[in-house]
């Protein structure tokens, strides 16, 4: 394939700024530590690395990253020049890139940080070829971009790559899935935001179509897809012990009930559903069947592919998340917050795996579903919420999925319990190698 023939903007899962001042509790790295059982002293000690994948002129400011580290008392080493792939413009930082890099390294404390930005005309196939063919790459990668699975060959998305490959959108998705599979075989973890416009998707904000729209790459079976959660506004608490400077006046969360994000509170709905291209992988078959057997309300059967790959796989906080942008603290939201949080968690777990046997966890999904079956406490099950609305609101025509006990196509297996996950990995994987 020859790339670089033309330039179009790629649509993405945009980090969302609240439309109006909010009084909700907000999320600092210390909040995530409390909610997800990550001790404050935990940090990367070996060659565990974590990075973010960006497209279309999304740059980060090293100064903002350093300010984030200082304001929230987290150890983030500067990103070295050889860990920046592509051209970053530090004088033109964008909210999405700032969010991604600050949070993957704000949770994966002390990890080797990477910033990877593709050229304007490159989409997922080009990225997959690039990463697979590059010798030195980050072990954990968070992607906050996506578009409707059936529209991957649109101009401005993968149109050029589809034309060069001679495929339609279905063929394009299949080819990218192969690239993602190859990357996983190298021991590299790919993590993706699940989308911000519910089960209906960004291409159908008013829910006029007769089917749901899974976003891609979230619907790939070879990527770990992450849905969004929020703190229930009725019971959120903000009394962190020894809060960092960045929490002054910010109401940083210390307790509360985690639920699926809702349009009413977070102003978006978490993406989730079933792929129309990829069949359901064996690693999740039992969990998906349990969902269908639970008696939960479902959309019309013709709206989704019950035999397809179900997503998301997991979830994390994705509303009122604090970042530094242009030197100032501000809250943002979106599953593009949730994905780098999980990336940071995996960077911490990778550190233990590398210490023990020099091998990273790699492709995560088979491990996550096996872990959930054997260790239910390894995940914090989210049983409240749905993804019926879109980012434009809730039309009476909108359909979607509802949370249930166990896996569901809104919040997956749930949010992480780092301590329990670490114990499970130590006892069932590392001590057997």
Residue 11 — pLDDT band, cuts 50, 70, 90? very low
Encode pLDDT of 227-246 as tens digits. 999 999 999 999 998 899 99
DSSP per-residue codes, 76-96: -PPPPGGGEES---TTSB-HH
Active site residue 408: no
CATH architecture, domain 29-432: 3-Layer(aba) Sandwich (3.40)
Query: In sequence order, what E strands does 139-270 have?
Result: 140-143, 147-148, 189-193, 215-216, 224-231, 258-260
Q: Which residues contact 423 (CB under 8 A, 6 or more apart)?
A: none
Average pLDDT over residues 83-104: 97
Active site residue 264: no
Has residue 43 got a pLDDT over 90?
A: yes
| Residue 3 confidence (pLDDT) | 31
- Residue 221's SS3 state is coil
Residue 15 — pLDDT band, cuts 50, 70, 90? low
Encode pLDDT of 363-382 as tens digits. 999 999 999 999 999 999 99
| CA 228 to chain CA centroid, nearest Å | 8
Tokens of 397: 């025509």
Whether the bond into 323 is cis, omega within 30 of 0: no
DSSP per-residue codes, 16-76: B--SS---S-BB-HHHHHHHTT--TT----SS-EEEEEE-SS-B--HHHHHHHHHHTT---
Q: Output 1 or 134, whichever has higher pLDDT.
A: 134
Q: Which of 96, 161, 320, 408 is catalytic?
A: 96
Has residue 20 got a pLDDT over 60?
A: no
Cα–Cα distance for residue pair 255/235, rounded to 1 Å:
8
Cα–Cα distance for residue pair 350/358, rounded to 1 Å:
9
Has residue 70 got a pLDDT over 50?
A: yes
| Residue 22 confidence (pLDDT) | 60
Encode pLDDT of 183-198 as tens digits. 999 999 999 999 999 9
| CA nearest neighbour of 408 among 220, 222, 194, 233 | 194
Active site residue 336: yes
| Residue 432 confidence (pLDDT) | 64
| CA nearest neighbour of 85 among 112, 119, 109 | 119
Query: In sequence order, what E strands does 286-378 have?
Result: 308-311, 314-317, 321-325, 328-332
Average pLDDT over residues 75-98: 96
Q: Output 156 or 188, whichever has higher pLDDT.
A: 188
Tokens of 90: 């530090």
For the chain, the average pLDDT equals: 93
| Residue 356 confidence (pLDDT) | 86
Encode pLDDT of 283-307 as tens digits. 999 999 999 999 999 999 999 999 9
| Residue 107 confidence (pLDDT) | 98
Q: Which of 64, 100, 118, 161 is catalytic?
A: 100
Q: Which of 48, 49, 254, 336 is catalytic?
A: 336
Ramachandran category for residue 56: left, alpha or beta (phi over 0 → left; psi -120 to 50 → alpha): left
| Residue 429 confidence (pLDDT) | 79
Residue 17 — pLDDT band, cuts 50, 70, 90? low
Instruction: Give percent of the chain above pLDDT 90.
Output: 90
Neighbours of 29 (CB within 10 A): 27
Has residue 8 got a pLDDT over 80?
A: no
| Residue 336 confidence (pLDDT) | 97
Average pLDDT over residues 32-47: 94
Residue 173 — pLDDT band, cuts 50, 70, 90? very high
Average pLDDT over residues 300-316: 98
């Amino acid at each position: 394939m020859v790339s670089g023939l033309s330039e179009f903007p790629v649509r993405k899962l945009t980090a969302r700024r609240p439309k109006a001042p909010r009084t909700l509790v907000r999320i600092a790295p210390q909040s995530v530590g409390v909610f997800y059982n990550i001790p404050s002293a935990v940090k990367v000690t070996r060659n565990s690395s974590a990075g973010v994948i960006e497209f279309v002129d999304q740059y980060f400011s090293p100064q903002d990253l350093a300010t984030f580290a200082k304001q929230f008392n987290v150890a983030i080493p500067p990103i070295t020049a050889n860990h920046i792939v592509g051209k970053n413009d530090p004088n033109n930082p964008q909210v999405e890139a700032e969010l991604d890099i600050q949070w993957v390294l704000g949770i994966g404390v002390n990890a080797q940080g990477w910033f990877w930005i593709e050229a304007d005309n490159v989409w997922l196939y080009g990225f997959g070829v690039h990463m697979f063919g590059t010798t030195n790459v980050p072990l954990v990668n968070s992607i906050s971009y996506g578009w409707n699975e059936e529209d991957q060959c649109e101009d401005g998305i993968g149109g050029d790559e589809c034309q060069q490959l001679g495929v339609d959108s279905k063929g394009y998705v299949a080819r990218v899935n192969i690239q993602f599979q190859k990357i996983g075989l190298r021991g590299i973890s790919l993590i993706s935001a699940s989308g911000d416009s519910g089960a209906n998707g960004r291409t159908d904000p008013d829910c006029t179509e007769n089917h749901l729209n899974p976003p891609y790459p979230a619907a790939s079976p070879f990527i770990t897809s992450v849905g969004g959660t929020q703190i229930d506004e009725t019971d959120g608490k903000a009394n962190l012990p020894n809060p960092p400077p960045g929490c002054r006046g910010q109401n940083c969360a210390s307790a509360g009930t985690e639920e699926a994000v809702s349009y009413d509170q977070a102003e978006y709905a978490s993406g989730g559903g079933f792929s129309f291209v990829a069949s359901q992988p064996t690693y999740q078959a039992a969990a998906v069947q349990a969902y269908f057997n639970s008696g939960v309300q479902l959309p019309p059967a013709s709206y989704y592919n019950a035999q397809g790959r179900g997503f998301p796989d997991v979830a994390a906080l994705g509303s009122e998340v604090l970042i530094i942008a242009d030197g100032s603290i501000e809250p943002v939201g979106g599953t593009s917050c949730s994905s780098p949080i999980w990336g940071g968690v995996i960077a911490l777990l990778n550190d233990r795996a590398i210490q023990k046997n020099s091998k990273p966890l790699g492709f995560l999904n088979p491990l996550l579903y096996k872990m959930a079956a054997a260790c239910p406490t390894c995940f914090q099950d989210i049983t409240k919420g749905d993804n019926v609305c879109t980012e434009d609101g809730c039309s009476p025509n909108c359909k979607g999925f509802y949370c249930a006990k166990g896996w569901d196509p809104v919040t997956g297996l749930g949010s992480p319990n780092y301590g329990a996950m670490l114990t499970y990995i130590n006892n069932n994987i590392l001590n057997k190698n």
